[in-house]
A = this chain, B = another copy of it.
């Protein structure tokens, strides 16, 4: 029938065909705005309206369009996380906890990989800012001045993580890499090791741990600490190679501090294949306390970071900011601990 009516010549755009809030409202016999309120602020609406709307939603299978909602309210309920690469085990706990904590509060995570290279960083930032996320979580510190400027200009809450500084871009939750380096050097010394070596990634945070280790070692009277740097990512293979190389030049070392547990596993693997006793002849200390570390043989001593706590705190930061709550404490040190197991 209606097909016979001459369609009005007014230009028009058909929607996607999906059920909209208007459809729900019509079905419920209320104004669209009432339907909106029934869903987003149920208390601001009478029980009757609420009930009619909810029933209409159930009958139609309505799913709110968050793009439209975000545009209208300037709150996207989207949070961006930037990781060097999700393949690395370091930030996994953090991303996992972040995703979950956000989901519980009605926010969704968008993932961006900076790929350890700072070249595409600008593209990535543009892609992220274009989505108007309610917050951005950075693993590590944003170092490039352009990047910092860009983020500041966007006016989006930013949380830096896995590090500490007194001049955060906005908010930060992490720990002191300097303290870690120092603590491990002291630990080695206290356990009687006198010829320690360092096998570490060449990323900036690892470098800071190494420097602090060297300084502390020197202060303890261990001035000559050989250092070997490996390019990220720090893999088992890199650990094996590094130990091989290290032993060629410094066969008398008695302890190694590795910049990740995976690297440490590589060192232990290489040591075993060379029949070097761990910790008897060579102590090994990892970093990160990966899930497998406790169950290795020998169990790996390592520096434990509560990555999940970092993710949860980051979520709290973002959500509090987005929902207009004040965030008085913007720098949070979650610390670390040295987990003494068998390898050191």
Contact = CB atoms under 8 A, between A and B. Distances in A.
A270 B103 CA distance: 38
A74 to B, nearest CB: 5
B295 A67 contact: no
A297 B115 CA distance: 30
Given A108-B127, A108-B128, A265-B292, 18 more contacts: A15-B74, A16-B155, A18-B154, A63-B130, A66-B131, A68-B71, A86-B96, A87-B92, A87-B93, A95-B111, A99-B112, A103-B113, A103-B124, A103-B127, A106-B127, A108-B112, A108-B131, A236-B291
Nearest to A15: B74
Contacts of A165: none
Interface string A105-128: 010111111010000000110111
Interface of A: 15-18, 61, 63-68, 70-71, 74, 76, 78, 85-87, 89, 92-93, 95-96, 99-100, 103, 106, 108-113, 115, 123-124, 126-132, 153-155, 235-237, 240, 262, 265-266, 269-270, 272-273, 291-292, 294-297
A108 B76 CA distance: 15
Contact of A153 (B61, B74, B99, B106): B61
A272 B297 contact: yes
Contacts of A265: 292
Contacts of A70: 67
Contacts of A126: 63
B108 A109 contact: no
Contacts of A294: 237
A107 to B, nearest CB: 9
A236 B108 CA distance: 31
Contacts of A131: 66-67, 78, 108
B99 A111 contact: yes
B76 A67 contact: yes
A23 to B, nearest CB: 14
A130 B155 CA distance: 25
A127 B102 CA distance: 12
Contacts of A129: 63
A235 B96 CA distance: 17
Nearest to A268: B297
A66 to B, nearest CB: 4
A302 to B, nearest CB: 14
Contacts of A132: 16, 65-67
Contacts of A273: 297
